[in-house]
Amino acid sequence: MPERLLQGALPAFVLTAALIAVVSLSTAGTASAAAPCQGPGAPKDTQTRCLTAIQVPGNRLREFDISFVNPDRAEYYLADRSNNGIDVLDTHNLTFKRRLGGFVGVAIVPGSITPANPFGTTDNGLSGPDGVASHGRWVYGGDGNSTLKVFDLDSPDVTALKQSVSTGGKARLDEMALTTNGKLLLAANNADDPPFGTLFNANGDDDVSNVSVIVRVGVSAAIIPPGNGLSIEQPSWDPNTQRFLVSVPQIANNPTGCSFTAAPSCEGGLLIVDPANLPAPTLVNGVVTSVIGAFDPTTNTGVLPLHACAPNGSTVGPNDNVLLGCSPDNVPDNTSTLVLNARTKNFANIGNITGSDEVWFNAGDNRYYTGSSAQLDADGNVTAVLGVIDGIQNLLLETVPQGSDSHSVAADFQRNRIFVPQAAPVALVGNGGDTTPVGQEICGSMNGCVAVYEDKGGDSDGDADADHQ
pLDDT tens per residue across span 286-321 = 899 999 999 999 999 999 999 999 999 999 999 999
For position 21, what pLDDT does the model report?
Answer: 39
367 assigned to some structural domain: yes
443 assigned to some structural domain: no
Average pLDDT over the chain reads 91
Statement: residue 71 has pLDDT above 60: yes
Q: Which residues pair with 50 in a beta bridge?
A: 453
pLDDT digits (tens, 9 = 90+) for 319-354: 999 999 999 999 998 999 999 999 999 999 999 999
49 assigned to some structural domain: no
Percent of the chain with pLDDT over 70: 90
Residue 282 maps to which CATH number?
A: 2.130.10.10
330 assigned to some structural domain: yes
Q: Which residues pair with 138 in a beta bridge?
A: 135, 152
Amino acid found at 264: P
For position 155, what pLDDT does the model report?
Answer: 98
For position 457, what pLDDT does the model report?
Answer: 62
Give the confidence band of 381 by pLDDT, cuts at 50, 70, 90: confident
Please name the residues in contact with 327: beta carbons below 8 A apart, sequence gap of 6 or more: 2, 249, 310, 311, 312, 334, 354, 355, 356, 357, 374
Give the confidence band of 226 by pLDDT, cuts at 50, 70, 90: very high
Statement: residue 11 has pLDDT above 50: no
Mean pLDDT lowest for which of 30-34, 380-384, 412-416? 30-34
58 assigned to some structural domain: no
Percent of the chain with pLDDT over 90: 87
Give the confidence band of 366 by pLDDT, cuts at 50, 70, 90: very high
Max CA separation in the chain (angstroms): 65
Statement: residue 460 has pLDDT above 90: no
Question: What is each CA distance from 325 to 114, 312, 348, 397, 407, in whole angstroms?
Answer: 36, 5, 13, 16, 11
What is the tally of structural domains in the chain? Answer: 1
Instruction: Tell me the mean pLDDT in the region 357-366.
Output: 97
Alpha helix locations (H) across 138-296?
none
What's the CA dihedral at 337, 371, 431, 175 to 10 degrees? -90
Of 356, 382, 384, the closest CA to residue 369 belongs to: 356
For position 29, what pLDDT does the model report?
Answer: 36
168 assigned to some structural domain: yes
> Are 50 and 94 a contacting pair, CB within 8 Å?
no
Per-residue b or e along 158-173, where b marks 16 or more CB atoms closer than 10 Å to that residue's CB: eebbbbebebebebbb
Q: Are strands 64-70 and 75-80 parallel, antiparallel or unpaired?
A: antiparallel
Q: Write down the pTM of the prediction.
A: 0.91
Question: What is each CA distance from 38 to 51, 60, 115, 423, 455, in whole angstroms?
Answer: 10, 19, 34, 16, 17
Residue 12 belongs to what domain range?
6-34+66-398
Round to whole Å and give the CA distance between 334 and 350. Answer: 11
pLDDT digits (tens, 9 = 90+) for 16-63: 333 333 333 333 333 345 799 999 999 999 999 999 999 999 999 999
